[in-house]
A = this chain, B = another copy of it.
Amino acid sequence: MAHTAEILSVGTELLLGSIVNSDAQMISRELSALGINVYYHTVVGDNPGRLEQAVNTAKGRADIIITTGGLGPTCDDLTKQTLARCFGKKLVFDPRSMARIEDYFLRMRRTLTENNRQQAYLPEGCVIFENDWGTAPGCAFEAEGVRVVMLPGPPSECLPMFRERAVPYLKGLSEGVILSRSLRIFGTGESMVESRLRERMNAMTNPTLAPYAKEGEVELRITAKADTPEQAAALLDPVEAGLRSEFGAMVYGVDVGSLEEVVQSLLEEKGLTLSCAESCTGGLTAKRMTDLPGASRVFRGGVVSYTDEVKRAALGVPAALLEEHGAVSAPVAKAMAEGVRALTGSDLAVSTTGVAGPGPDDRGNPVGLVYVALAAPEGTLVRERYLSGTRGRIRTSAASTALDLVRQYLQGLLVSGEA
């Protein structure tokens, strides 16, 4: 039988929105790799009555309950007290945990208070998870057919406690493996991808296929369940091949971090350098290219030309061109890319100029109109795009369009003379 886990996060700070529930995200990701289904996340505050209600609901629909938070002195060890009560267990003093807590306070030169002693009381018969990353120990027990795992809340303790303590405890429970592969697609919308794949997706059970929209891109995740990693991979392969032939050049990578990562490795592979001239993206393209370590091997730099004067002075864009066509135009995009290529001596250069919003520009160009150019030894190519969304989204999509043009060029996907 497949196991079903529920993550129960305890903390008023989550309900006030002071922090985001990154513990639940991290644990969910790791559980899916173990082949354990997660059907619910529940968040409650530091309130014994509501926590008890949430535990009772969880007992009825999951056979693994993982709690985060509510351990330790600032909340009177709420989670441990409540979970023990819900499952009819007593808390018993554990001298070994007490010794560890005393030792921690000594090392930190802090004074041990009475409520710190509470942390050494643990549910009878539990497995104690020693906390090498903080003071409150975690623990696990089995009762009424449910496995209960309790972890501290701070992500810097929760993550290592889950990986080093809970995973070995849970490993015996998982059956088979779940493997995922992510195809990253740029150049088409989520609803278009979805409508092309809808029938296929609905017909699939193992592997499954799901599209996710992120930052103007689409991620297609194929997930297979099998007894071994090899069998799971064999299930993934034909689906991946089918999607690659369906989306062709729009697939920029599989299990990659980002478009800029793909561009960086292609440049490195071919021994080429890049620079950029940016208007509407205002430095974002350069910022993304330099986010990655090793950027200096392939990226020379760029110019952010936010005014016509800078376009003329730094990039040599002719004043007549700016006057005739305006800054948001194909000829200016071309001149910007060629100008920065000459200035930096890079092999390739991209440029962006457009209207990021919130309003149209002086010439009445609409929000979202963007020109992107790529200057290469063979010549310069310009693309016109109508991008949608907020100012931030338009800037991100414009930078992605520029980076994707470089990617397609480096992969030999551009038809010569194309515009």
Contact surface of A with B, Cβ cutoff 8 Å: 12-22, 24-32, 38-45, 47, 50, 53-54, 57, 61, 72-74, 104, 107-111, 113-116, 133-135, 154, 156, 160, 189-192, 194-195, 198, 210-214, 221, 275-276, 278, 281-291, 293, 295-296, 299-307, 309-310, 313-314, 343-345, 357-358, 368, 386, 388-393, 395
Contact = CB atoms under 8 A, between A and B. Distances in A.
Q: How many copies does the complex hold?
A: 2
Contact of A42 (B20, B42, B110, B390): B42
A367 to B, nearest CB: 10
A189 B73 CA distance: 12
A105 to B, nearest CB: 9
A16 B42 contact: no
B20 A20 contact: yes
B290 A283 contact: yes
A191 B154 CA distance: 14
Given A213-B154, A388-B107, A74 B194 contact: yes
20 contacts: A15-B40, A17-B28, A18-B221, A24-B43, A39-B44, A39-B47, A40-B42, A109-B386, A113-B191, A113-B192, A135-B191, A283-B283, A290-B306, A290-B395, A293-B357, A299-B306, A301-B304, A302-B304, A313-B345, A314-B314
A43 B44 CA distance: 12
A14 B27 CA distance: 11
Contacts of A386: 107-109
A17 B13 contact: no
A391 to B, nearest CB: 6
Nearest to A289: B282
Given A21-B41, A304-B304, A110 B192 contact: yes
B43 A15 contact: no
A57 B53 CA distance: 11
Contacts of A133: 389-390
Contacts of A345: 309, 313
B43 A344 contact: no
A303 B306 contact: no
Contacts of A296: 306-307
Q: Which of A27, A198, A211, A276 has the most chain B CB atoms closer than 10 A to its own CB?
A: A198
A393 B291 CA distance: 11
Q: Which of A15, A314, A345 has the most chain B CB atoms closer than 10 A to its own CB?
A: A15
Nearest to A153: B213
A22 B20 contact: yes
Contact of A28 (B14, B40, B110, B278): B14
Contacts of A358: 293
Contacts of A14: 25, 28, 41
A357 to B, nearest CB: 7
Q: Which of A189, A310, A386 has the most chain B CB atoms closer than 10 A to its own CB?
A: A310
A380 to B, nearest CB: 20
A187 B25 CA distance: 31
Given A14-B41, A17-B28, A115-B191, 17 more contacts: A13-B210, A13-B212, A19-B25, A20-B24, A21-B25, A24-B43, A108-B386, A156-B389, A156-B392, A156-B393, A160-B390, A284-B287, A300-B307, A301-B306, A302-B304, A309-B345, A310-B343
Contacts of A57: 57
A74 B190 contact: yes
B293 A287 contact: no
A31 B47 CA distance: 19
